[in-house]
Amino acid sequence: MSDLVKFLSKILLACLLVIGVGWATYIGVRYYHAEQVAYRWISGLAAKQAAWEKKIAESGGNTLTGYAGPSDPKVIDTQAGGKFSGLTYDPLQKRLWTVVNKPTALIALSTDGQVLATYPVKGMSDIDGVAWLGGNKLALVNGRRNRVVIAEIPPTPQVLDVTRSFALVLRFTEGEDTNYGFNGLGYDLKRDRLYLSKEHSPRALYRISGLSNLQAADSRGLRIENISHWLNDVPFATDLSSVEVDPTTGRVFLLSEESQLIVQLDGDSGDGKGMLSLSTKGSKPLPRPEGIATDDDGNIYIVSEPNLFYKLRKP
């Protein structure tokens, strides 16, 4: 009898051990991106990141030094449903714009994360990114179709019909996975540069110039550049969930969900300028950051699925 009890005890202990390991693995992957952390160390990306940080420190210093990591997020009830995707700052109205899908709507937010207005969108679905173009114009991107729409925002909240709005469709080069299209938008008003980021398979970064002189549906004056080679020095940012531009310096922010990082590049050369980790020691990573914006004062805003809002104040 004692042998049977010992045997059953061992079986029970083994079962508890398996359950414990399974639960710990679930918590690590679900809340702390443990699989990404392990991959970064095994693949050598962590070492490359450290070398890149040292390089920018020696060449003038990290421009994002002093920003505190994200604190507890504000949970936003949009009442429109859906999950946040994309973010941009409108300096004229001192507000932020983001989008949700299912149903598709454009949401105006205060810089403290309060919902100011909702504009249901007609004529476009699955919007992945948004960028303020100046005045009452916004650029919206549909990643599945690689379609960028220039929309004019009505003065009062109402249905935003983009059915007849100017649209630009971008084609991928041979060999790129068309299941992963452009999902990030960021506009440099001062230099008239619209940046588009592609999340992965492979990562890509493009730049469109000439939007300020766009006449009706004539796109012949646009200049499209593939600047994906800028990403060669930042392989540790393993995906690009969003892109933004500093309105003063023209520097480009790249947001990586998998790596929980913000990387900043020079807007002319693509040289590294700064990096900020979004996963500080002992804190939970952002669940799924999908949009980044910055204002004239240098504050950084991030939205994360499903409905989380973060504000990182400039030091």
Residue 65: give its domain's CATH number.
2.120.10
Number of structural domains found in the chain: 1
- End-to-end Cα distance, the chain: 69
- Non-local CB neighbours of 75 within 8 Å, separated by 6+ positions: 307, 308, 309
pLDDT of residue 44: 77
- Find the domain containing 207 and state its range: 51-312
Domain membership of residue 39 (yes or no) is: no
pLDDT band at 25 (very low <50, low <70, confident <90, very high): very low
Domain membership of residue 26 (yes or no) is: no
- Could you tell me if 162 and 180 are in contact, meaning their C-beta atoms sit under 8 angstroms apart? no
pLDDT of residue 264: 98
Domain membership of residue 23 (yes or no) is: no
Domain membership of residue 14 (yes or no) is: no
pLDDT of residue 29: 44
Residue 29, SS3 per DSSP: helix
Cα–chain center distance at 156 = 28
Residue 24, SS3 per DSSP: helix
How far apart CA 270 and CA 205 sit, in angstroms, is 11
pLDDT of residue 112: 95
223-226, strands of its sheet edge to edge? 182-188, 193-198, 204-209, 223-226
Domain membership of residue 244 (yes or no) is: yes
Task: Name the β-bridge partners of 63.
Answer: none
How far apart CA 184 and CA 252 sit, in angstroms, is 12
pLDDT 10s digits, 182-238: 899 999 999 999 999 999 989 999 999 998 877 555 666 789 999 999 999 999 999
pLDDT band at 71 (very low <50, low <70, confident <90, very high): confident
Which residue, 241, 246, 273, is CA-closest to 259?
241
Domain membership of residue 161 (yes or no) is: yes
Q: What percent of the chain has pLDDT over 70?
A: 81
Domain membership of residue 10 (yes or no) is: no
Q: Is the pLDDT of residue 24 over 50?
A: no
279 compared with 111, residue with greater pLDDT: 111
Residue given tokens 């947001």 in the structure block = 255
How far apart CA 160 and CA 144 sit, in angstroms, is 20
Domain membership of residue 236 (yes or no) is: yes
* Average pLDDT estimate for 240-250: 96
How far apart CA 26 and CA 46 sit, in angstroms, is 23
